[in-house]
Amino acid sequence: MSGETSVGNYDLIIGLGATGLSMARYLDSQQQAFAIADTRYQPPGLAAFEEEFPDADIWLGPLDAELLRKAKRLLVSPGVSLAEPALQKAREAGQEIIGDIELFCRATSRPILAITGSNAKSTVTSLVGDMAASIGKKVGVGGNIGLPALDLLAEGAKDLYVLELSSFQLETTLSLQAQGAALLNISEDHLDRYASMQDYIFAKQRIFHHAQHVIFSREDDQTQPIHGQLAPRISFGLDAPPSDRDLGLKEIDGKTWLVRGEEALISAKEVPLAGEHGLLNVLAAYALAAAADLPLQQLAAAVKSFSNLPHRCQQVAVKQGVTYINDSKATNLGASLAAIRGLQKDFPRLWLIMGGEGKGQDFSPLKQALGASVAGVALIGRDASLLAEQLPEKIEHWNAGDLQTAIRDLAAKAAAGDAVLLSPACASFDQFTSYSKRGEVFATCVQQLPA
Protein backbone atom coordinates (compact mmCIF):
# COMPACT_ATOMS: atom_id res chain seq x y z
CA MET A 1 0.00 0.00 0.00
CA SER A 2 2.39 2.64 -1.19
CA GLY A 3 -0.36 4.85 -2.60
CA GLU A 4 -2.72 7.25 -0.89
CA THR A 5 -1.71 8.74 2.43
CA SER A 6 -3.87 10.64 4.88
CA VAL A 7 -3.14 12.17 8.25
CA GLY A 8 -2.04 9.62 10.79
CA ASN A 9 -2.38 6.38 8.83
CA TYR A 10 1.03 6.18 7.18
CA ASP A 11 4.69 5.84 8.07
CA LEU A 12 7.13 8.49 6.89
CA ILE A 13 10.53 7.18 5.82
CA ILE A 14 13.16 9.88 6.24
CA GLY A 15 16.20 9.36 4.05
CA LEU A 16 16.31 7.36 0.86
CA GLY A 17 19.38 5.36 -0.21
CA ALA A 18 19.63 1.60 0.27
CA THR A 19 18.21 1.61 3.81
CA GLY A 20 15.25 3.82 2.94
CA LEU A 21 14.44 1.63 -0.05
CA SER A 22 14.62 -1.49 2.11
CA MET A 23 12.15 0.03 4.59
CA ALA A 24 9.79 0.90 1.72
CA ARG A 25 9.92 -2.66 0.42
CA TYR A 26 9.25 -4.07 3.86
CA LEU A 27 6.31 -1.77 4.56
CA ASP A 28 4.86 -2.53 1.15
CA SER A 29 5.11 -6.28 1.89
CA GLN A 30 3.18 -5.62 5.12
CA GLN A 31 0.54 -3.57 3.26
CA GLN A 32 1.44 -0.56 5.39
CA ALA A 33 1.01 2.83 3.72
CA PHE A 34 4.11 5.02 3.61
CA ALA A 35 5.62 8.15 2.16
CA ILE A 36 9.23 9.24 1.94
CA ALA A 37 11.14 12.45 2.65
CA ASP A 38 14.77 13.34 1.99
CA THR A 39 16.65 16.55 2.74
CA ARG A 40 18.49 16.24 -0.58
CA TYR A 41 16.85 17.33 -3.84
CA GLN A 42 18.56 14.53 -5.78
CA PRO A 43 19.05 11.67 -3.28
CA PRO A 44 20.76 8.49 -4.46
CA GLY A 45 18.32 5.80 -5.49
CA LEU A 46 15.51 8.25 -6.30
CA ALA A 47 14.94 6.90 -9.82
CA ALA A 48 14.89 3.30 -8.58
CA PHE A 49 12.44 4.21 -5.84
CA GLU A 50 10.09 6.03 -8.23
CA GLU A 51 10.16 3.07 -10.62
CA GLU A 52 9.40 0.55 -7.87
CA PHE A 53 6.82 2.69 -6.04
CA PRO A 54 5.33 5.07 -8.62
CA ASP A 55 2.34 5.95 -6.40
CA ALA A 56 4.31 6.84 -3.26
CA ASP A 57 4.40 10.44 -2.06
CA ILE A 58 7.91 11.95 -1.99
CA TRP A 59 9.01 15.20 -0.33
CA LEU A 60 12.47 16.54 -1.12
CA GLY A 61 14.28 19.38 0.65
CA PRO A 62 14.51 20.62 4.26
CA LEU A 63 12.42 18.63 6.73
CA ASP A 64 9.16 20.31 7.68
CA ALA A 65 7.86 19.83 11.22
CA GLU A 66 4.24 19.91 10.05
CA LEU A 67 4.91 17.19 7.49
CA LEU A 68 6.48 14.98 10.16
CA ARG A 69 3.63 15.61 12.60
CA LYS A 70 1.09 14.08 10.22
CA ALA A 71 2.81 10.68 10.07
CA LYS A 72 1.99 7.76 12.35
CA ARG A 73 5.67 6.86 12.76
CA LEU A 74 8.96 8.34 11.61
CA LEU A 75 11.36 5.78 10.17
CA VAL A 76 14.77 7.40 10.06
CA SER A 77 17.63 6.17 7.87
CA PRO A 78 21.05 6.07 9.57
CA GLY A 79 22.38 8.85 7.35
CA VAL A 80 19.92 11.34 8.90
CA SER A 81 20.96 12.97 12.17
CA LEU A 82 18.46 12.88 15.01
CA ALA A 83 19.66 16.41 15.79
CA GLU A 84 17.63 17.72 12.83
CA PRO A 85 15.37 20.41 14.37
CA ALA A 86 12.20 18.92 12.89
CA LEU A 87 13.06 15.51 14.35
CA GLN A 88 13.79 17.06 17.74
CA LYS A 89 10.36 18.69 17.73
CA ALA A 90 8.76 15.40 16.80
CA ARG A 91 10.56 13.63 19.66
CA GLU A 92 9.54 16.32 22.14
CA ALA A 93 5.94 15.81 21.01
CA GLY A 94 6.20 12.11 21.79
CA GLN A 95 6.18 10.89 18.19
CA GLU A 96 7.68 7.43 17.63
CA ILE A 97 11.08 7.62 15.89
CA ILE A 98 12.72 4.31 14.95
CA GLY A 99 14.98 2.86 12.25
CA ASP A 100 15.33 -0.16 10.03
CA ILE A 101 16.97 -2.36 12.70
CA GLU A 102 14.07 -1.75 15.08
CA LEU A 103 11.64 -2.82 12.35
CA PHE A 104 13.79 -5.90 11.74
CA CYS A 105 13.87 -6.85 15.43
CA ARG A 106 10.08 -6.55 15.65
CA ALA A 107 9.69 -8.75 12.55
CA THR A 108 11.81 -11.78 13.50
CA SER A 109 12.19 -14.07 16.48
CA ARG A 110 15.31 -15.79 15.14
CA PRO A 111 18.63 -15.42 17.04
CA ILE A 112 20.70 -12.37 16.20
CA LEU A 113 24.44 -11.85 16.61
CA ALA A 114 25.13 -8.11 16.58
CA ILE A 115 28.50 -6.47 15.98
CA THR A 116 29.59 -2.85 16.32
CA GLY A 117 32.83 -0.96 16.86
CA SER A 118 34.83 1.83 15.27
CA ASN A 119 36.81 -0.65 13.15
CA ALA A 120 36.72 -4.25 11.90
CA LYS A 121 32.91 -4.59 12.07
CA SER A 122 32.62 -5.82 8.50
CA THR A 123 35.48 -8.30 8.83
CA VAL A 124 34.12 -9.87 12.01
CA THR A 125 30.54 -9.91 10.73
CA SER A 126 31.57 -11.64 7.51
CA LEU A 127 33.77 -14.16 9.32
CA VAL A 128 31.02 -15.10 11.78
CA GLY A 129 28.67 -15.56 8.85
CA ASP A 130 31.19 -17.87 7.17
CA MET A 131 31.64 -19.81 10.40
CA ALA A 132 27.91 -20.42 10.78
CA ALA A 133 27.47 -21.35 7.12
CA SER A 134 30.40 -23.78 7.27
CA ILE A 135 28.51 -26.02 9.70
CA GLY A 136 25.30 -25.95 7.70
CA LYS A 137 23.43 -23.07 9.33
CA LYS A 138 21.11 -20.97 7.20
CA VAL A 139 22.53 -17.59 8.01
CA GLY A 140 21.60 -14.05 6.95
CA VAL A 141 24.49 -11.56 6.98
CA GLY A 142 23.82 -7.85 6.55
CA GLY A 143 22.82 -4.64 8.26
CA ASN A 144 25.48 -1.99 7.79
CA ILE A 145 27.28 -4.34 5.38
CA GLY A 146 25.92 -5.94 2.23
CA LEU A 147 22.14 -6.27 2.26
CA PRO A 148 20.13 -3.99 4.55
CA ALA A 149 18.66 -6.03 7.40
CA LEU A 150 15.06 -5.78 6.20
CA ASP A 151 16.01 -7.14 2.77
CA LEU A 152 17.31 -10.27 4.49
CA LEU A 153 13.74 -11.10 5.54
CA ALA A 154 12.77 -11.57 1.89
CA GLU A 155 15.31 -14.39 1.55
CA GLY A 156 13.19 -16.78 3.61
CA ALA A 157 13.65 -18.39 7.01
CA LYS A 158 17.11 -18.35 8.60
CA ASP A 159 18.60 -20.16 11.57
CA LEU A 160 20.65 -17.14 12.56
CA TYR A 161 21.18 -13.50 11.61
CA VAL A 162 24.59 -11.81 11.85
CA LEU A 163 24.28 -8.03 11.71
CA GLU A 164 26.87 -5.29 11.51
CA LEU A 165 25.37 -2.24 13.24
CA SER A 166 26.55 1.36 13.13
CA SER A 167 26.17 3.80 16.00
CA PHE A 168 23.59 5.63 13.88
CA GLN A 169 21.47 2.48 13.56
CA LEU A 170 21.73 1.76 17.27
CA GLU A 171 20.38 5.23 18.11
CA THR A 172 16.99 4.29 16.68
CA THR A 173 16.89 0.69 17.96
CA LEU A 174 14.98 -0.29 21.12
CA SER A 175 14.06 -3.97 20.80
CA LEU A 176 17.37 -5.63 19.95
CA GLN A 177 17.88 -8.63 22.23
CA ALA A 178 20.94 -10.12 20.62
CA GLN A 179 22.03 -13.61 21.54
CA GLY A 180 25.53 -12.20 21.34
CA ALA A 181 26.36 -8.48 21.21
CA ALA A 182 29.96 -7.45 20.53
CA LEU A 183 31.62 -4.04 20.85
CA LEU A 184 34.99 -4.60 19.18
CA ASN A 185 36.86 -1.34 19.77
CA ILE A 186 36.42 2.41 20.16
CA SER A 187 38.37 5.17 18.45
CA GLU A 188 37.43 8.69 17.42
CA ASP A 189 34.92 8.70 14.59
CA HIS A 190 31.85 10.63 13.46
CA LEU A 191 32.63 13.55 15.75
CA ASP A 192 31.13 15.75 13.07
CA ARG A 193 27.79 14.22 14.12
CA TYR A 194 28.21 13.66 17.87
CA ALA A 195 28.55 16.44 20.41
CA SER A 196 31.32 14.58 22.24
CA MET A 197 33.31 11.37 22.28
CA GLN A 198 31.21 10.25 25.24
CA ASP A 199 28.01 10.59 23.20
CA TYR A 200 29.58 8.41 20.50
CA ILE A 201 30.55 5.76 23.08
CA PHE A 202 27.06 5.79 24.58
CA ALA A 203 25.57 5.19 21.12
CA LYS A 204 27.88 2.20 20.58
CA GLN A 205 27.10 0.80 24.03
CA ARG A 206 23.40 0.59 23.14
CA ILE A 207 24.21 -2.73 21.46
CA PHE A 208 24.48 -4.32 24.93
CA HIS A 209 20.90 -3.47 25.97
CA HIS A 210 18.97 -6.69 26.66
CA ALA A 211 21.74 -8.85 25.15
CA GLN A 212 21.95 -12.49 26.24
CA HIS A 213 25.78 -12.44 26.01
CA VAL A 214 27.94 -9.30 26.20
CA ILE A 215 31.23 -9.44 24.27
CA PHE A 216 34.01 -6.87 24.68
CA SER A 217 37.76 -6.40 24.18
CA ARG A 218 40.29 -6.59 27.00
CA GLU A 219 42.52 -4.44 24.79
CA ASP A 220 40.11 -1.49 24.97
CA ASP A 221 38.54 -0.41 28.27
CA GLN A 222 35.98 1.70 26.43
CA THR A 223 34.31 -1.44 25.08
CA GLN A 224 33.45 -2.78 28.54
CA PRO A 225 29.76 -2.30 29.42
CA ILE A 226 29.19 1.05 31.13
CA HIS A 227 25.93 0.05 32.76
CA GLY A 228 25.41 -2.97 34.96
CA GLN A 229 24.66 -6.06 32.91
CA LEU A 230 23.17 -9.29 34.16
CA ALA A 231 24.06 -11.11 30.94
CA PRO A 232 27.15 -13.35 30.90
CA ARG A 233 30.27 -11.55 29.72
CA ILE A 234 32.79 -12.89 27.22
CA SER A 235 36.02 -10.99 26.67
CA PHE A 236 38.73 -11.37 24.05
CA GLY A 237 42.30 -10.12 23.96
CA LEU A 238 45.89 -10.86 23.04
CA ASP A 239 46.78 -12.15 26.52
CA ALA A 240 45.84 -15.40 28.22
CA PRO A 241 42.10 -15.72 28.90
CA PRO A 242 41.22 -14.83 32.51
CA SER A 243 38.47 -17.48 32.63
CA ASP A 244 37.12 -20.46 30.73
CA ARG A 245 34.50 -18.20 29.10
CA ASP A 246 37.05 -15.81 27.63
CA LEU A 247 39.24 -15.93 24.53
CA GLY A 248 42.89 -15.06 24.04
CA LEU A 249 46.33 -16.30 23.11
CA LYS A 250 48.41 -19.00 24.77
CA GLU A 251 51.74 -20.69 24.11
CA ILE A 252 51.31 -24.44 23.57
CA ASP A 253 54.35 -26.58 22.71
CA GLY A 254 56.26 -23.52 21.55
CA LYS A 255 53.48 -22.22 19.29
CA THR A 256 50.96 -19.42 19.76
CA TRP A 257 47.36 -20.62 19.75
CA LEU A 258 44.00 -18.90 19.85
CA VAL A 259 42.18 -20.41 22.82
CA ARG A 260 38.98 -20.24 24.80
CA GLY A 261 40.00 -20.84 28.37
CA GLU A 262 42.21 -23.92 28.07
CA GLU A 263 40.60 -25.07 24.81
CA ALA A 264 42.92 -24.67 21.79
CA LEU A 265 41.05 -23.50 18.69
CA ILE A 266 43.51 -22.65 15.93
CA SER A 267 47.23 -21.89 15.63
CA ALA A 268 48.03 -18.20 15.14
CA LYS A 269 50.13 -19.16 12.13
CA GLU A 270 47.04 -20.61 10.46
CA VAL A 271 45.11 -17.33 10.71
CA PRO A 272 45.17 -15.64 7.28
CA LEU A 273 44.41 -12.12 8.59
CA ALA A 274 47.58 -10.10 9.05
CA GLY A 275 48.86 -8.57 12.26
CA GLU A 276 47.63 -8.45 15.82
CA HIS A 277 44.40 -6.78 14.70
CA GLY A 278 43.75 -9.83 12.52
CA LEU A 279 44.09 -12.12 15.54
CA LEU A 280 41.74 -9.89 17.55
CA ASN A 281 39.15 -10.09 14.78
CA VAL A 282 39.25 -13.89 14.78
CA LEU A 283 39.07 -14.03 18.58
CA ALA A 284 36.00 -11.75 18.50
CA ALA A 285 34.40 -14.00 15.88
CA TYR A 286 34.99 -17.06 18.05
CA ALA A 287 33.46 -15.23 21.02
CA LEU A 288 30.31 -14.54 19.00
CA ALA A 289 30.25 -18.15 17.82
CA ALA A 290 30.45 -19.28 21.44
CA ALA A 291 27.51 -17.00 22.33
CA ALA A 292 25.50 -18.71 19.57
CA ASP A 293 26.48 -22.18 20.85
CA LEU A 294 28.29 -23.03 17.61
CA PRO A 295 30.76 -25.96 17.90
CA LEU A 296 34.06 -24.07 18.13
CA GLN A 297 36.23 -27.04 17.20
CA GLN A 298 34.50 -27.29 13.82
CA LEU A 299 35.13 -23.68 12.76
CA ALA A 300 38.86 -23.64 12.01
CA ALA A 301 38.35 -24.44 8.32
CA ALA A 302 36.17 -21.34 7.90
CA VAL A 303 38.88 -19.20 9.52
CA LYS A 304 41.66 -20.66 7.34
CA SER A 305 39.74 -19.99 4.13
CA PHE A 306 38.73 -16.43 5.08
CA SER A 307 40.39 -13.52 3.30
CA ASN A 308 40.37 -9.79 3.91
CA LEU A 309 37.36 -7.92 2.61
CA PRO A 310 37.74 -5.61 -0.40
CA HIS A 311 39.44 -2.32 0.48
CA ARG A 312 40.61 -3.64 3.88
CA CYS A 313 44.38 -4.27 3.89
CA GLN A 314 43.98 -5.83 0.46
CA GLN A 315 47.14 -6.41 -1.56
CA VAL A 316 46.62 -4.91 -5.02
CA ALA A 317 49.90 -5.62 -6.81
CA VAL A 318 53.67 -5.81 -6.55
CA LYS A 319 55.33 -3.37 -8.94
CA GLN A 320 59.13 -3.24 -9.23
CA GLY A 321 59.36 -5.05 -5.90
CA VAL A 322 57.04 -2.59 -4.08
CA THR A 323 53.85 -4.01 -2.54
CA TYR A 324 50.77 -1.80 -2.91
CA ILE A 325 48.02 -2.29 -0.30
CA ASN A 326 44.48 -0.91 -0.44
CA ASP A 327 43.06 -0.07 2.98
CA SER A 328 40.57 2.53 1.74
CA LYS A 329 37.98 1.25 4.23
CA ALA A 330 40.08 2.81 7.02
CA THR A 331 37.93 5.93 7.39
CA ASN A 332 39.14 6.83 10.89
CA LEU A 333 42.50 7.08 12.59
CA GLY A 334 42.03 3.98 14.73
CA ALA A 335 41.58 1.80 11.64
CA SER A 336 44.67 3.26 9.98
CA LEU A 337 46.85 2.81 13.06
CA ALA A 338 45.73 -0.82 13.34
CA ALA A 339 46.73 -1.43 9.73
CA ILE A 340 50.09 0.29 10.15
CA ARG A 341 50.89 -1.71 13.29
CA GLY A 342 49.87 -4.93 11.60
CA LEU A 343 52.01 -4.37 8.51
CA GLN A 344 55.16 -2.77 9.87
CA LYS A 345 56.43 -6.17 11.02
CA ASP A 346 56.27 -7.46 7.45
CA PHE A 347 57.89 -4.55 5.62
CA PRO A 348 61.10 -2.67 6.50
CA ARG A 349 59.62 0.57 5.19
CA LEU A 350 56.02 1.76 4.79
CA TRP A 351 54.94 4.67 2.63
CA LEU A 352 51.49 5.98 3.51
CA ILE A 353 48.70 7.78 1.67
CA MET A 354 46.41 9.58 4.12
CA GLY A 355 43.76 12.29 4.01
CA GLY A 356 40.21 13.18 3.03
CA GLU A 357 37.36 14.35 5.29
CA GLY A 358 38.60 14.12 8.87
CA LYS A 359 35.13 14.16 10.48
CA GLY A 360 36.36 16.26 13.41
CA GLN A 361 38.90 13.67 14.60
CA ASP A 362 41.90 14.40 16.78
CA PHE A 363 44.95 13.34 14.76
CA SER A 364 47.49 14.04 17.53
CA PRO A 365 48.07 10.30 18.28
CA LEU A 366 50.01 10.20 15.01
CA LYS A 367 52.94 11.93 16.70
CA GLN A 368 53.57 8.95 18.95
CA ALA A 369 52.15 6.15 16.81
CA LEU A 370 54.22 6.42 13.64
CA GLY A 371 57.52 4.65 14.21
CA ALA A 372 60.74 4.28 12.27
CA SER A 373 59.15 1.89 9.79
CA VAL A 374 57.11 4.73 8.25
CA ALA A 375 59.34 6.34 5.63
CA GLY A 376 56.96 9.01 4.36
CA VAL A 377 53.37 10.18 4.04
CA ALA A 378 51.68 11.54 0.93
CA LEU A 379 48.67 13.63 1.97
CA ILE A 380 45.52 14.09 -0.07
CA GLY A 381 42.10 15.70 0.24
CA ARG A 382 40.41 18.42 2.23
CA ASP A 383 42.00 17.87 5.63
CA ALA A 384 45.57 17.17 4.50
CA SER A 385 46.84 20.20 6.40
CA LEU A 386 45.26 18.99 9.67
CA LEU A 387 47.05 15.67 9.33
CA ALA A 388 50.33 17.39 8.42
CA GLU A 389 50.25 19.36 11.68
CA GLN A 390 50.25 16.13 13.70
CA LEU A 391 52.87 14.11 11.81
CA PRO A 392 56.29 13.64 13.44
CA GLU A 393 58.79 16.13 12.03
CA LYS A 394 61.28 13.34 11.33
CA ILE A 395 58.89 11.69 8.87
CA GLU A 396 58.89 13.09 5.35
CA HIS A 397 55.45 14.28 4.29
CA TRP A 398 53.96 16.45 1.58
CA ASN A 399 50.59 17.48 0.18
CA ALA A 400 50.13 15.49 -3.03
CA GLY A 401 46.62 16.87 -3.47
CA ASP A 402 44.98 13.90 -5.13
CA LEU A 403 45.32 10.13 -5.12
CA GLN A 404 46.80 9.80 -8.60
CA THR A 405 49.59 12.26 -7.80
CA ALA A 406 50.30 10.53 -4.47
CA ILE A 407 50.74 7.18 -6.20
CA ARG A 408 53.11 8.64 -8.80
CA ASP A 409 55.14 10.36 -6.05
CA LEU A 410 55.45 7.19 -3.99
CA ALA A 411 56.27 4.97 -6.95
CA ALA A 412 59.30 7.22 -7.50
CA LYS A 413 60.38 7.10 -3.84
CA ALA A 414 59.72 3.50 -2.77
CA ALA A 415 62.33 0.77 -3.20
CA ALA A 416 62.02 -2.99 -3.66
CA GLY A 417 60.84 -4.58 -0.41
CA ASP A 418 58.87 -1.50 0.64
CA ALA A 419 55.08 -1.23 0.84
CA VAL A 420 52.79 1.62 -0.19
CA LEU A 421 49.68 1.65 1.99
CA LEU A 422 46.52 3.60 1.21
CA SER A 423 45.02 3.96 4.69
CA PRO A 424 43.42 7.42 4.68
CA ALA A 425 42.10 7.70 8.29
CA CYS A 426 39.41 9.90 6.72
CA ALA A 427 36.12 9.69 4.88
CA SER A 428 36.25 9.89 1.10
CA PHE A 429 33.40 12.23 0.20
CA ASP A 430 35.53 15.29 -0.54
CA GLN A 431 36.97 13.59 -3.63
CA PHE A 432 35.08 10.31 -4.14
CA THR A 433 31.54 8.97 -3.90
CA SER A 434 32.57 6.26 -1.40
CA TYR A 435 35.56 4.57 0.20
CA SER A 436 35.10 1.70 -2.27
CA LYS A 437 35.40 4.08 -5.23
CA ARG A 438 38.55 5.53 -3.66
CA GLY A 439 39.96 2.02 -3.37
CA GLU A 440 39.03 1.19 -6.95
CA VAL A 441 40.82 4.30 -8.23
CA PHE A 442 43.87 3.35 -6.16
CA ALA A 443 43.90 -0.16 -7.64
CA THR A 444 43.49 1.14 -11.19
CA CYS A 445 46.33 3.65 -10.82
CA VAL A 446 48.63 1.02 -9.30
CA GLN A 447 47.92 -1.44 -12.11
CA GLN A 448 48.97 1.22 -14.59
CA LEU A 449 52.44 1.53 -13.03
CA PRO A 450 55.39 -0.12 -14.81
CA ALA A 451 55.89 -3.74 -13.84
Question: Is there a catalytic annotation at residue 144?
Answer: yes
Question: Is there a catalytic annotation at residue 121?
Answer: yes
Q: Which of 158, 190, 204, 213 is catalytic?
A: 190
Which residues lie below 8 Å from residue 68, measured CB to CB, with a gap of 6+? Answer: 12, 14, 37, 74, 86, 87, 89, 90, 95
Strand-pair category, 112-116 with 73-76: unpaired
Q: Report which secondary-structure segment, H or E, holds 122.
A: helix 121-134
In angstroms, rounded to a whole number, what is the distance separating the alpha carbons of residues 426 and 38? 25
Question: Is there a catalytic annotation at residue 281?
Answer: no
Q: Which of 121, 277, 311, 397 is catalytic?
A: 121
SS3 category, 198: helix
Residue 233 φ then ψ, to 5°:
-105, 140
Length of the chain in residues, anyone? Answer: 451
Q: Which of 144, 185, 326, 332 is catalytic?
A: 144
Distances (CA, A) of 410 to 68, 96, 422, 428: 52, 52, 11, 20
DSSP 400-449: EESHHHHHHHHHHH--TT-EEEE--SSBSTTTSSSHHHHHHHHHHHHHTS
Known catalytic residues are 121, 144, 190
